[in-house]
Amino acid sequence: MNYWKNLFNKKEEKKKPPYPVTSPRKNPASQPPKNEEMEYMDKVTSEDKHGPEKRAIRIFVSSTFKDMIEDRNKLMTHTWPELRLFCRERHVEIVEVDLRWGIAEEQSKRNETLKLCLDEINACRPFFIGLLGERYGGKPDDNAFTEDLNEEHPWLNEHIDKSYTELEILHGVLNNPEMAGRTFFYYRDPAYALEHGTDFLSENEEAAEKQTALKEFICKTCEESNME
């Protein structure tokens, strides 16, 4: 639970690193001194001459689905309720974005899934949680990359062979400096996948290579950004 509270308690840095991501290999940065713990929450709930600031926080959760069902359910039944109470004491509402429940069948048929994911990430900035196991996940169909979507997100043209999850991570974190300090990645122990069978293992050799490359890229980004 302390990790999740750190998501809101971290002190804003004046100078942001070029690659905004916390290291999945180490714990998030130590909690600030007691007199600074509520600094971010106080900022969110403060009032200025234009009236109250935003009192709602949206958090995007990115992961593959099949192998992360239990993890997402634990968030839904344990973490979010506790965090919601923590924030309501400070007059802040938490909105967790779990797209297992957010994509209608008709939207999927119209190939709007990718656009919806990217739009929701924009709406959640700068809060992003990444859960990574051994599965790489499914890729959007070619017709998901519409002319309008490519015009809105030209970076997609170089990543049409990537999975939904990697595209979410690229858009939500690695391509966006403003996400610095409010992002956390969690890597599952590979031994867990071996113990739980096919649904938790890489889909094939190519998927395994891509997933390994993605994890290494995240770690490299952390090291280059001197982030812990």
SS (H, E, C) the chain: CHHHHHHHHCCCCCCCCCCCCCCCCCCCCCCCCHHHCCHHHHHHHCEECCEECCCEEEEEEECCCHHHHHHHHHHHHHHHHHHHHHHHCCCCEEEEECCCCCCCHHHHHCCCHHHHHHHHHHHHCCCEEEEECCCCCCCCCHHHCCHHHHHHCHHHHHCCCCCHHHHHHHHHHHCCHHHCCCEEEEECCHHHHHHHCHHHCCCCHHHHHHHHHHHHHHHHHHHHCCCC
- Closest to 140 measured CA to CA, from 118, 113, 122: 113
Residue 6 has pLDDT above 60, yes or no: no
Q: What is the pLDDT of residue 223?
A: 74
* Rounded-to-integer distance, Cα 44 and Cα 54, Å: 6
The pTM assigned to this predicted structure is 0.74
pLDDT in tens, 121-147: 999 988 999 999 999 999 998 889 999
Residue 211 has pLDDT above 90, yes or no: yes
Phi, psi of 223 (to 5 degrees): -65, -40
Residue 178 has pLDDT above 70, yes or no: no
Residue 110 has pLDDT above 80, yes or no: no
* Rounded-to-integer distance, Cα 126 and Cα 178, Å: 7
Q: What is the pLDDT of residue 43?
A: 53
111 conformational bin, left if phi > 0, alpha if psi -120 to 50, beta if neither: left
* Rounded-to-integer distance, Cα 6 and Cα 3, Å: 5
Rounded mean pLDDT, 65-82: 93
Confidence of residue 48 (pLDDT cuts 50, 70, 90): very low
Rounded mean pLDDT, 57-64: 94
